[in-house]
Amino acid sequence: MARIAYILLCHKDPEGIIAQARRLTAAGDFVAIHFDGRAKPSDFDKIRDSLVTNPSVAFTARRVKCGWGEWSLVEATLLAVEAAVESFPRATHFYMLSGDCMPIKTAEFAHAFLDREEVDYIESFDFFNSDWIKTGIKDERLIYRHWFNERTRKTLFYASMNWQRKLGLQRKVPADIQMQIGSQWWCLRRRTVEWVLEFVQRRKDVMRFFRTTWIPDETFFQTIVRHLVPEHEIRTRTLTFLMFTDYGMPVTFYNDHYDLLLSQDYLFARKISPEAKDLKERLGKLYVAKNVRFSISNEGRSLYKFLAGRGRIGRRFAPRFWENEGSLGRERTLMMVTCKKWHVAKRMVDRVRKVTNLPALDYLFNEGSTPLPDLGGIQSNLEKRTRHRRALVRMLFDYWQTDKLIFCIDPANVDLMQDFYNDKAKVRLLEIECDFTDEYLIGHATRVGLAGEQTPQETIDRLLPTIRYDVRFESDRIRDAGFPNFHRIRQSGSVDENTVALADFLDIPVDKAREIAATEYLYLD
């Protein structure tokens, strides 16, 4: 049966590291720890004093001062690997972890998974021909020597690289090595690890090359393993679940991500928030549990894209410096209509236009196809509209020569709502609360790519509560924001109830409000 030696690189949170090591070794596995040489000596002493009597825990012979993007990270990893190989002769696999990682499967499941195939798990894509690197320098990582850290000594980093370029001091990759790139979170068999350590001792030329390579933790093991191990014994994937935002930042997981994490086809996940104490406790107990069955749907990345793409919770729509005095005007009234079913909100504002003759727009900041007059280009795309939102709305007031304007807005855009509420103008908000059947939500999941015709019913059943919660969560955020002049109409409400809310929101006579509220097709899907 597989026995795992975890290679744990960490630099903070001594209590968390101690707890992590105890959890992993309690299931019969091992841990080799490298604690950053830059960290507080007292933190390392606390870790060592707490774990020194645990025979399943080893420490590196020395501690390296680590810096992101530097060779020091690979050096620290090799020291931890050497300690693990020497201390744990019964270890069959070596799994790279950080202090931000947590198991999302049981040890029982992990051992059975690794026993299933005699292979190594490591991302390794062709460095020059793949598109693994999304931003920043690429070839320059290898063909130039890097002695300075781009993050801490940026001027020297780029000056050194530019001088090498001007002087034609490009270097070549060692002739027999095909450069690879991939995630640094790997799981390798004992034989492979021993081959790597032997290679390190034998090939000093390769070691010299990587010592001055930029971000070598994404290329060193990936290249060496591919060089030493037959291709059919490599699975080009990581067993650690991680995601990145479209800004290139790692996605952090919190307490409410437990069910999502367990459904992913991975053994560990990063990064777990230090504040997610409940999540850590539950995942810690999970690792040592027995006879747990997992239903793996692997929809994590699709769900994240879906949830994060609607409103970008946490993204600030703060006033820009040129907007400080750019108020819409105290005498003007801005009315926002929000509804998760966009077609319902569009029907509403269409009826408002016809019944009241008030200027009313569809999803101004959410839908590029929303018809707008020519305003000199500011209206041309969503990015421009959002960036110059107050200027745009002022121009729309002026275009229609009105002191009242209505537009639709997605309920996820709470920050944008708040930004308009911070204006000196009179601002009102109407929420249209719709009923959501399972059939509608399934159709919605299909339209946005979360599910397809071949998606198993089991996955659909797991997906529905997530989508329903997302809708409910957005509505709750609006209510929790405490917006003044907030109104609500409901699909389940009576015409009389909705008439009162519409009359107050639009500031129109009751008979006209009733004409809008009584629209028969308003909520049809």
Query: Which pLDDT belongs to residue 307?
Result: 52
Q: Give me the pLDDT at residue 381, please.
A: 83
> What was the pLDDT predicted at 431?
94
In the predicted model, what is the mean pLDDT of the chain?
A: 86
Domains (range + CATH), the chain: 4-289 (3.90.550), 321-517 (3.40.50)
Question: What was the pLDDT predicted at 369?
Answer: 86
Q: Minimum mean pLDDT among 159-173, 193-207, 385-399, 453-467: which range? A: 453-467
Instruction: Answer yes or no: is pLDDT of 310 > 50.
Output: no
- Is the pLDDT confidence value at 411 over 60? yes
Residue 331 has a pLDDT of 81
Query: Residue 308 pLDDT > 70, yes or no?
Result: no
Say if residue 454's pLDDT is above 70: no
Sign of CA dihedral 113, 117, 122, 123: negative
Contact criterion met (CB below 8 Å) for 491 and 433 = yes
In this prediction, residues 44-64 reach a mean pLDDT of 95
For 269, list phi and psi in degrees, rounded to 5. -140, 145
DSSP-derived pairing of the beta strands 187-189 and 333-338: unpaired
DSSP 100-149: T-EESS-HHHHHHHHHH-S-EE---EETTTS----SS-STHHHHS---S-
Strand partners for 430: 337, 487
Residue 448: which pLDDT band, with cuts at 50, 70 and 90?
low
E strands of 60-106, at which residues?
93-98, 102-103
Residue ranges of the alpha helices (H) in 274-403? 277-288, 300-308, 342-356, 382-387, 389-400
pLDDT at 320: 33
Residue 376 reports pLDDT greater than 80:
no
pLDDT in the model for residue 193? 97
pLDDT surpasses 70 at 44: yes
Q: Tens of pLDDT along 266-298? A: 999 988 877 778 888 899 899 999 999 888 877
**452 has pLDDT over 70:** no
| Mean pLDDT in residue range 249-271 | 83
Look at residue 344 in the predicted model and tell me its pLDDT: 92
Between residues 516 and 316, which one has the greater pLDDT? 516
**Listed ranges 211-225, 238-252, 444-458; the one with the highest mean pLDDT:** 211-225
Please give the average per-residue pLDDT across 228-249, as a whole number. 83
pLDDT exceeds cutoff 80 at 144: yes
Predicted local confidence at residue 315, as pLDDT? 35
**Over residues 4-31, mean pLDDT:** 92
pLDDT at 219: 94
Higher pLDDT, residue 303 or 437: 437
Contacts for 159 with CB less than 8 Å, ≥ 6 apart: none
pLDDT in tens, 112-130: 999 999 999 999 999 888 8
pLDDT over 80 at 151, yes or no = no
> What CA–CA distance (Å, rounded) separates 104 from 78?
26
- This prediction's pTM: 0.60
How far from 318 is each of 152, 300, 329, 400, 405, CA to CA, in Å? Answer: 29, 30, 18, 27, 22
Task: Examine the pLDDT at 316 and tell me if it is beyond 50.
Answer: no
The confidence score (pLDDT) of residue 257 equals 81
Does the pLDDT value for residue 450 go beyond 70?
A: no
Torsion angle in degrees (nearest 10) through CA of 181, 187, 193, 197: 50
Asked if the model's pLDDT at residue 392 lies above 90, the reply is no
Give the residue-averaged pLDDT of 9-38.
92
431 versus 463: the higher-pLDDT residue is 431
What's the pLDDT band for 319 if we cut at 50, 70, 90? very low
The pLDDT assigned to 323 comes to 35
d(CA 195, CA 216): 19
- pLDDT at residue number 287: 92
Q: Percent of the chain, pLDDT > 90?
A: 52
Mean pLDDT across the stretch 187-208? 96
